[in-house]
Amino acid sequence: MQKATFAGGCFWCMVTPFEEQPGIHGIVSGYMGGHVENPTYEQVLTGETGHQEVVQITFDPKVFSYERLLELYWPQIDPTDAVGQGNDRKSQYRAAILYHNEEQRLLALKSREELDKSGRFDKPVVTSIEEASVFYPAEEYHQNYHKKNPEFYKESRIYSGRDAIIEKYWSKD
């Protein structure tokens, strides 16, 4: 088993693309990259802890490759936005691929370069690729939020602008 970690705006919206894929053994919403130990959602929400909202995926690379995870990740975000996603504008919502080993780093760099050269976007692809750091799982009520609170999740997804981003950049796919 390996870990893959992705930031792409609100972590609630980053779970569903990965959750029912073969070889995916777990998805945990959480926080990474900040300077506060064991941050709470309320602390991260201020944008002052330096953390990003992330999903950490446990996967079997023999069944579901890291390249395939990257293929699922990119269409969930606006990779040309360096400061957030949609209406989620604070630093905790910026997109990033957080690699766990050198192979992941190289594959992420390659996929970002290919995406940037694809001509799909009118601005450069700026999603950062950073080394993974300490992962802090989010509070239990954030785990599988879309299943626990389907109506509020649906409203939050619309408000965040995520579906508009997907429609704008990825509807051809």
Please give the structure tokens belonging to residue 14.
């980053």
Q: Strands 96-99 and 2-7, how do they pair? A: antiparallel
Residues paired with residue 4 on neighbouring β-strands, in sequence order: 57
Contact 125, 115 (CB under 8 A): yes
Q: Which one of 7, 10, 24, 27 is the catalytic residue?
A: 10
Cα-flanking dihedrals φ and ψ of residue 65, to 5°?
-75, 160
The verdict on whether 13 is a catalytic residue reads no
Catalytically active residues are 10
